[in-house]
Copies of this chain bind each other. A is one copy, B any other.
C-alpha cells in the first residue's frame, strides 16, 4: 500500500469509529457529517473521499454491529444435534439476540431504522452479511423439521426471527408498559418454545 493509500485507509477507519460512537451515543438522528469531519480533523467535503455517502457510512457501522452480534449469537449456542438441543439452541439464540439489543440499543435500532436515500439500494455485500446471520436459526431448524423443503425452512426462519425481533423491539421500547428484563426473557423463551411445540405437531 502506498503511504497515501495507507493514510486514507487509516482516516476511513477513524471516520467509521467516530460515526459508531455518535450513533451509539445519540442514535441515527445524532449522526452529523459536519461533526464527524471536525472530530477526525478533515473538511466536510473530504469525508466523501473516504465513503461514497452517509448511507455507506451507516452501512459500514452496521457491518461492525452485525459482526459483534454474530459473535454473540455463536457464543450463545453450540451446534445442536438432537431435537431437544435444537429447541434449546433457538431459545439461547433468541435470548442472546435480546441481550445484545439491550446492550447496544442505539446501534441495534440503527440496523432497522436506517433507510437508504431515495433511489439507492442496499449493496450486495451488506445484504449478504445480513443473510449470513440466519444460519443461527436455520441450523437448529434443519434438525427440528428436516422433512421440510429448504425454501419452507427459510421462510420459517424469517418468520421466527421477525417474531422474536418484535417481542424484543416492543419490550425494549417500553412504550406500553415497562417490561423488566426477567419478564422479557420469559416472554421470548415462551414464544420460541411455543413455536417449537407447534412445529412438533405440524399437521
Chain A interface residues (CB < 8 Å from chain B): 112, 122, 127, 130-131, 155-156, 158-159, 161-167, 169-171, 173, 175-176, 183, 186-187, 190-191, 193-203
Known pairs A195-B198, A196-B198; list 17 more (Cβ under 8 Å).
Answer: A130-B175, A155-B187, A155-B190, A156-B190, A159-B187, A159-B190, A159-B191, A161-B170, A163-B163, A163-B191, A165-B166, A165-B169, A165-B170, A166-B169, A194-B198, A194-B199, A195-B195
How far apart are A32's CB and chain B's nearest CB, in angstroms? 15
How far apart are A40's CB and chain B's nearest CB, in angstroms? 27
CB-based contact B131/A176 at 8 Å: yes
How far apart are A149's CB and chain B's nearest CB, in angstroms? 14
For A167, list chain B residues within 8 Å (CB).
Answer: 159, 162-163, 166
Residue of B nearest to A156 (CB): B190
Candidates B164, B190, B198; contact of A166 at CB < 8 Å: B164
CB-based contact B173/A158 at 8 Å: no
For A199, list chain B residues within 8 Å (CB).
Answer: 194
Q: List 8 A-B contacts (CB under 8 A).
A: A112-B173, A131-B176, A159-B191, A163-B164, A165-B170, A197-B202, A197-B203, A201-B201
For A122, list chain B residues within 8 Å (CB).
Answer: 175
Candidates B156, B171, B195; contact of A162 at CB < 8 Å: B171
CB-based contact A201/B197 at 8 Å: yes
How far apart are A135's CB and chain B's nearest CB, in angstroms? 14
CB-based contact B158/A187 at 8 Å: yes
Candidates B162, B191, B202; contact of A169 at CB < 8 Å: B162
How far apart are A131's CB and chain B's nearest CB, in angstroms? 7
CB-based contact B162/A127 at 8 Å: no
For A130, list chain B residues within 8 Å (CB).
Answer: 175-176
CB-based contact A162/B155 at 8 Å: no
How far apart are A26's CB and chain B's nearest CB, in angstroms? 12
